Structure formats: C-alpha cells, structure tokens
Amino acid sequence: MNDDLIVTRSVSIPRHELHMSFSASGGPGGQHANKTASRVELRFDIANSSALGPVQRQRLVERLGDEVRIVVDDERSQLRNRALAEERLAARLQSALHVERPRRPTRPTKGSKNRRLKAKQQRGQIKQQRRRPNSDD
C-alpha cells in the first residue's frame, strides 16, 4: 500500500515529510481534555520537500510560504484530528497549486449583434416619439 498523502494527480507527499506533534486540547472538557493529547499540529516544509517539482515548489512558496502549519483540535479523538489535519493540508495545497486558465474573450454572435441593434432602434424610436412635432408636419 502506498503511504503517501495524495494532494493532486501529480503531487503526493510521503508521510515521512509530514511532521506531527500532539498536545492537550485547550478549553473546557473535564478529565478527558486534561489527560489526552488530542490536539494535532501538522507541519509540512515546502522548501525542502522532495515530492514537489521546481515549478510547484515555487508556486507554493509564493502563495503559502516556506512551511505550512495546520492545527486541529475539533474532535475528541487524536486519530480523527490527524485525519482532519491531513485533509486540510491537502485542500490548502490543492488550492494553492491550482492555476486559473487564461480567459479568452469570445466574439459576439450574429444573433446577439442583431438583438442589440434592434433594441437600439426601438429605443431611438421611443425617444423620437417623445419629441415635439415639427411645424411642417
């Protein structure tokens, strides 16, 4: 089984490049929150990653910086918080790697040109009807 975090079709990060640390989750929660280390901090060093190509690395460093840090303490379970942290990291990297396609302006169709000209003519006729009649009419 492949033990990589899949970000996109072309990018998958080996798990040994992900650095996780665990600590007690803050806030109320009583005995469970005080005893378990369910808070997960996930760090990924973009600048030194072997999973990224030079163009991908440059794009990520420009958009996210040299290191990405994700902190999750949403769930009581450390395992679930781990999964959430990995999902959030993948989503953040995916959105940073996304390249918008350049917009190509489209030409107006013949029908749209005709509709525009017809609307202009109708508007002109309405304005012409508002004018005072000429003395020679």
Residue 17 DSSP label? G
Instruction: Please give the pLDDT value at position 2.
Output: 64
Tell me the per-residue pLDDT of 94-121, one tens digit each, with 9 for 90 and over.
Answer: 999 998 899 999 999 999 999 999 999 9
Instruction: Please give the pLDDT value at position 1.
Output: 47
* Identity of the residue numbered 45: D
Bigger pLDDT: 84 vs 135: 84
Dist CA 67 CA 31 (whole Å): 34
Domains of the chain by start residue, with CATH = 4-97 (3.30.160.20)
- Residue 131 clears pLDDT 70, i.e. is over it: yes
Percent of the chain with pLDDT over 90: 57
Mean pLDDT, residues 17-40 taken together: 80
- Residue 135 clears pLDDT 80, i.e. is over it: no
Mean pLDDT, residues 45-66 taken together: 91
Residue 41: name the closest of 4, 78, 93 by CA: 78
Dist CA 130 CA 117 (whole Å): 20
Q: What is the mean pLDDT of the chain?
A: 88
